[in-house]
Amino acid sequence: MTTPRRLLLVNGPNLNLLGVREPAIYGRETLADVERIVSDAAAARGFEVRAVQSNHEGVLLDAIHAARDDCAGIVINPGGLTHTSVVLRDALTGVGLPVAEVHISDVRAREAFRQHSYISDIAAVHVAGEGVAGYARATALLIDVIAGHAEG
């Protein structure tokens, strides 16, 4: 069986407000910009992207579960669920796909509650504090993991 040439891009709660929510922290780029950045980075390596954003945890879980059927990996910015969601972590480990965790801001330099991630120890790739451009790097690094060119 061949590895699918598709990635799932998951953006969690409040990321639909990119461009208008706290631009000093998150920038002026929009969710559409993020989706284009990831699609372009993936296409450059022969991958396509299915994107999902929701403010509802169950919608994200369902998308992650479905990814096991036709995706090779998951690029995820869980938003605030990073710091709170054991079930999101369980979904990611349950599907057995490599994961790239992305954060637009440097969560390690922010409030104490933002410095804990339920995702970080299961993710093969971590990118934080690079703005939305970090999504492109996370995508490329994840594809390297999938292709066996990096440790996962």
Residue with the larger pLDDT of the pair 85 and 150: 85
Q: Classify residue 119 as exposed, middle or buried by CB count within 10 Å of its CB (0-12, 13-18, 19+).
A: buried
- CA dist., res. 127 & res. 120, Å (int): 10
Q: Which of 14, 108, 115, 122 is nearest to 60 (CA)?
A: 14
> What is the pLDDT confidence band of residue 147, given thresholds at 50, 70 and 90?
very high
Tokens of 22: 């706290």
104 is in an annotated binding site: yes
- Residue 113 confidence (pLDDT): 65
Q: Which residues are catalytic?
A: 26, 103
Domain residue ranges in the chain: 6-147
Angle between helix 133-147 and helix 31-43 axes, rounded to 10 deg: 30
Instruction: Please check the confidence at residue 2 and state whether its pLDDT lies above 80.
Output: no
- Residue 108 confidence (pLDDT): 76
- pLDDT tens-place string over residues 31-82: 999 999 999 999 999 999 999 999 999 999 999 999 999 999 999 999 999 9
- pLDDT tens-place string over residues 91-129: 999 999 999 999 998 877 666 766 789 999 999 999 999
Beta-strand (E) ranges in 19-129? 48-53, 73-77, 99-103, 125-128
- Residue 4 confidence (pLDDT): 84
Instruction: Please check the confidence at residue 152 and state whether its pLDDT lies above 50.
Output: no
16 is in an annotated binding site: no
6-147 classified as CATH 3.40.50.9100: yes
90 is in an annotated binding site: yes
Compute the half-sphere exposure of residue 60: CA atoms within 13 Å on the CB side of its CA. 28
Global model pTM greater than 0.75: yes
126 is in an annotated binding site: no
**What's the Cα-to-Cα distance from 45 to each of 37, 40, 59, 80, rounded to whole Å?**
13, 9, 28, 30
Residue with the larger pLDDT of the pair 151 and 143: 143
- Residue 67 confidence (pLDDT): 98
